[in-house]
């Protein structure tokens, strides 16, 4: 196999999910397992922080949790034009969960696949948000909340009137309906594609950087004793470090954008036109 074919196969292997089943009903078990474990970790940390909360001098964990809660509550108070007790907890859950899933992109690209291959699994992609099924599932949950908020605050009749008569009045009823349906469906699509595209591209760049020394395989002595091998290795380390530092900014930013847009959509759903 040529080096180019090897690089192609390497990237395809690392971007392939561990699947159970075929076709539409196939389950991507790696993405599901990692996302569920991270969600459970988030719940466990919050539970421990609540159990250990004190009115005296707080510890590092309580300080961190209080800062996150106050930060999210402030954003919700500024963005959500109404009162609903579930908006702030929902926003906090989205931000932390998406942040933790994005954080998996900083795990060395060969660690999870090689470890799971040694345990008997051929494929394992550790980054859940580089899987469109995960990001689209999250955005569908937000869509369900948007529809639920619309019915709760406007009632079935008010929601129907908004869909049929807004923005151009009763004379353009079919056009209003089509326009509002497109607007409603565009929300989960834009949420999911934005998160997926950014994390998928970031993972792909990490894999391309990792493939620079792929031609040497496990021959570390040959790589370290040749000018070309040393040059590729040093270049790989420098590029990976630069991209990782830059990506440290992208990880929380994408989680913040997903959270903020969710709050905005819920605020829009609760408002009367």
Residue 175 lies in a domain: no
Domain count across the chain = 1
Residue 176 pLDDT: 87
Give the pLDDT of residue 219: 58
Task: Assess if residue 157 is contained within a domain.
Answer: no
Residue 161 inside a domain? The answer is no
Alpha-carbon dihedral of residues 251, 97, 186, 202, nearest 10 degrees? Answer: 30
End-to-end CA distance of the chain: 63
pLDDT at 215: 66
* pTM for this model (two decimals): 0.88
- Output the CA–CA distances (angstroms, integers) from residue 27 to 16, 137, 214, in the order listed: 12, 13, 30
* 168: in domain: no
User: What gap in Å lies between CA 156 and CA 143, rounded to an integer?
Assistant: 17
Report, as residue numbers or ranges, the catalytic residues: 190, 194, 198
168: DSSP letter = T
Q: Cβ distance 229 to 222 under 8 Å?
A: yes
165 within domain boundaries = no
Range of the domain at 131: 3-149+186-270
User: CB under 8 Å to 136, separation ≥6 — which residues?
Assistant: 188, 192, 196
The answer to whether residue 139 is domain-embedded is yes
Does 155 reside within a domain? Answer: no
Task: State the chain's maximal CA–CA distance in angstroms.
Answer: 78
Q: Can you give the pLDDT at residue 222?
A: 64
In a domain, 170, yes or no: no
| Mean pLDDT (10-residue bins), the chain, 273 residues | 63 88 86 95 92 82 90 91 87 95 90 85 90 94 93 88 82 86 92 94 90 68 70 84 90 94 91 69
User: What's the confidence (pLDDT) of residue 173?
Assistant: 83
Taking the C-alpha atoms of residue 235 and residue 243, their distance in angstroms, rounded to an integer, is 12
Q: What angle do CA 190, 194, 199 make, to 5 degrees?
A: 155
Q: What is the pLDDT of residue 108?
A: 87
């Amino acid at each position: 196999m040529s080096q180019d074919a090897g690089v192609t196969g390497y990237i395809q292997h690392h971007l392939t999910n561990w699947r159970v089943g075929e076709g539409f009903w196939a389950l991507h078990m790696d993405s599901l397992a990692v996302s569920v474990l991270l969600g459970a970790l988030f719940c466990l940390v919050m539970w421990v922080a609540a159990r250990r909360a004190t009115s005296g001098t707080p510890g590092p964990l309580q300080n961190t949790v209080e800062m996150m809660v106050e930060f999210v509550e402030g954003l919700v108070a500024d963005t959500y034009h109404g009162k609903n007790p579930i908006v702030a907890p929902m926003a906090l859950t989205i931000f932390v969960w998406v942040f933790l899933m994005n954080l998996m992109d900083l795990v060395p690209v060969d660690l999870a696949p090689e470890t799971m291959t040694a345990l008997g699994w051929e494929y394992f992609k550790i980054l859940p948000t580089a899987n469109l099924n995960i990001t689209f599932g999250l955005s569908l949950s937000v869509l369900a909340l948007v529809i639920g908020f619309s019915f709760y605050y406007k009632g079935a009749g008010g929601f129907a009137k908004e869909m049929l008569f807004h923005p151009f009045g009763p004379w353009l009823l079919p056009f209003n309906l089509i326009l509002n349906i497109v607007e409603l469906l565009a929300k989960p699509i834009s949420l999911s594609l934005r998160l997926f595209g950014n994390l998928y591209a970031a993972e792909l760049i990490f894999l391309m950087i990792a493939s620079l020394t792929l031609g040497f395989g496990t021959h570390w002595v040959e790589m370290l004793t040749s000018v070309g091998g040393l040059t590729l290795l040093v270049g790989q380390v420098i590029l990976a470090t630069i991209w990782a530092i830059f990506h440290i900014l992208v990880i929380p930013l994408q989680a913040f954008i997903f959270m903020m847009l969710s709050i905005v959509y819920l605020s829009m759903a609760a408002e009367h036109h």
